Amino acid sequence: MAEVLITVRLAAPATLEAAMRRLGLTEDEVDAAYGLVPVDPGRNLYVLRVTEDAGRRVGDSGAGAADGGPYSDPPIEPYGPPR
Amino acid sequence: MRVLIQLRPSPDLVAAVADPSVPSMASDVADGLPGVVLDHSYAPVAVPRPMPASPGGDPLSLNQPLVFSMAPQDASVVVRGEIADDEVTSRIALLPAARRDVVAVYADPAIETSLTCGGDPAVGDWHDVERLLRVPDLTAEGLDGSGVPLAVVDTGINAAYVKSARGHDVTVDHERSWNPQSVSGTPGDFPVDHGTMCAFDALIAAPKASLVDVPVLLSRRQGGSTLDGLLSDAIAAYAHLREVLDAQPAESRALVVTNSWGSFSPRWDFPPGHPGNYSDNPAHPFNLIVGSLAEAGADILFAAGNCGTQCRDSRCAYPDRPIVGANSHPRALSIGGIDTAGTRVGYSSQGPGRLAARKPDVCSYTHFAGSGALGDGEPDSGTSAACPVAAGLVAAVRSRWPSTVLPPAQLRTLLRRTADDRSAVGYDHDYGYGVVDAAGIIAALRRRAAKAA
């Protein structure tokens, strides 16, 4: 299933478990291997990868507890050589 | 943008322009056009007026028998000039209103057929790039990349190959290198591919930089042959690079990050305007972390892309404005490509960018015989090569100028200000502010050092 990104603000010590509790996410909905990644330490802002359904549910557009999202997670490719 | 301006001045002026025995200049017929820098080397040209061949013909139709009148009361005059890229639409709309003698403004596209494209042979070699970047002069100034971590966010580096191709030792910083969770492998020991080319090209101007290997583009393989990754892995990589930067002492803080990759297609993105969109949205987490890392002291460079109008990569799927997302980030440098003859390669993406309009920022060298990492006889090509070449130049500067002394924003301004401008009106969407100019950079740094002393 396609996955999306959501952001959350958490006070230190921020953990994936704390983010999941805050957002009401289950283990099946979260890419635990990706984990909880700091985006901007100064703003306590973190990102996590979740299923598309979960992203819609907890993202800010779904009136959930996330700070932002769901955001796209597009593939990226090398810019060379030109084909 | 170069333009042709058609005017209908007084008949005696038209007659003078049409008379080959009378010398005439652009300023004679078109002086004072607001927002237009006239090309005075281009003599005005009289253009005949098409008219219906038979009485009663449609005066506006060109699809009928025509005669062409050079009579002074019928003919017009064309001059050449340049309008700033970010004023083109408004100037073209306003010129005929501002000046009653202006009939129309037309594009004057380059008609040269010799722009370098994908598949063309190399133009020069990496020693030409060394010469153009004035590497001996940089070295004499102590600007050789010593002690500067240079992160190659790509497909991984093969250090043994780079060492062999360069004929010099290569330093890979194992401690600061990082793999995405789905990638196993040792820093500096990945298969020879795109990332190895980037590492080789980055070392041209900064031979003593310490390579930080970040093989994000190995994070996802499709069909076993295509190299690609996910933007989420790039976010995780940047979070690691933030730790690398923060761990450095302030007096020597420096981190240069070269990114020769991007998104070719809007297919996997939310559409522009959607809050989760990447291509046009500064609030996307990757665009946020790029801004955050740059603010913390990193110099971040992105390839502009290979979607130039003259010979775009077949994967380019954005209908317009192909410099998207972080490749157009206001706190990163977007690097276009020129060949070693100084001409923009036809595949180098043109602006405006989607996050910041003035992209690309500057151009650097590509399409030269270099690493050979892409295959025997294959040039180091794409804006993929131009970006690390420029990153090497930035890393060279950082050997003596840490980010606490010369913040990334000031260094970006310095590179733009010293660039060798390729148009008559400053910034343009083909070359940006111009071609990186090591001599200009050295001179500016000397002035700065003298002022601080």
Residue B302 reports pLDDT greater than 50: yes
Lowest mean pLDDT among B19-23, B33-37, B257-261, B283-287: B19-23
| A79:B306 CB<8 A | yes
Give B111 to chain A, closest Cα distance, Å: 22
Number of domains in chain B: 2
Write down the pLDDT at residue B411.
Answer: 98
Between CA B283 and CA B158 the distance in angstroms is 35
- Whether residues B253 and B319 fall in one domain: yes
Q: Tell whether B120 is covered by a domain.
A: no
- Whether residues B187 and B328 fall in one domain: yes
Q: Tell whether B370 is covered by a domain.
A: yes
Q: Mind listing the pLDDT tens digit for each residue in A26-45? A: 999 999 999 999 999 889 99
Question: ipTM score here?
Answer: 0.92
In chain A, the residue whose alpha carbon lies closest to the alpha carbon of B292 is A40
Q: Tell whether B114 is covered by a domain.
A: no
User: Span B130-145, mean pLDDT?
Assistant: 98
Averaged pLDDT score across all residues of chain B: 92
- Whether residues B201 and B296 fall in one domain: yes
B76, B53 contact by CB (below 8 A): no
Q: Which of A34, A44, A72 to mutate to test the interface with B (most CBs of B within 10 A)?
A: A72
In chain B, the residue whose alpha carbon lies closest to the alpha carbon of A6 is B285
Q: Is B430 a catalytic residue?
A: no
Domain range enclosing B74: 2-107
- Whether residues B196 and B335 fall in one domain: yes
- Whether residues B133 and B99 fall in one domain: no
Lowest mean pLDDT among A15-24, B134-143, B183-192, B213-222: B213-222
- Whether residues B52 and B146 fall in one domain: no
Q: Which of B107, B142, B163 is the last residue of a domain?
A: B107
Q: Tell whether B55 is covered by a domain.
A: yes
Considering only CB atoms, B239 lies closest to which of A4, A38, A81, namely A38
Q: Tell whether B258 is covered by a domain.
A: yes
Q: Tell whether B268 is covered by a domain.
A: yes
| B381:A5 CB<8 A | no
Q: Which of B107, B139, B162 is the last residue of a domain?
A: B107
Is B39 or B121 the better-scoring residue by pLDDT? B121
Lowest mean pLDDT among B61-65, B98-102, B430-434: B61-65
* Residues in chain A, total: 83
Torsion of CA B161, B166, B167, B172, to 10 degrees: -60
Q: Mind listing the pLDDT tens digit for each residue in B45-60? A: 888 888 888 888 887 7
Residue B182 reports pLDDT greater than 90: no
Q: Which of B79, B107, B135 is the last residue of a domain?
A: B107
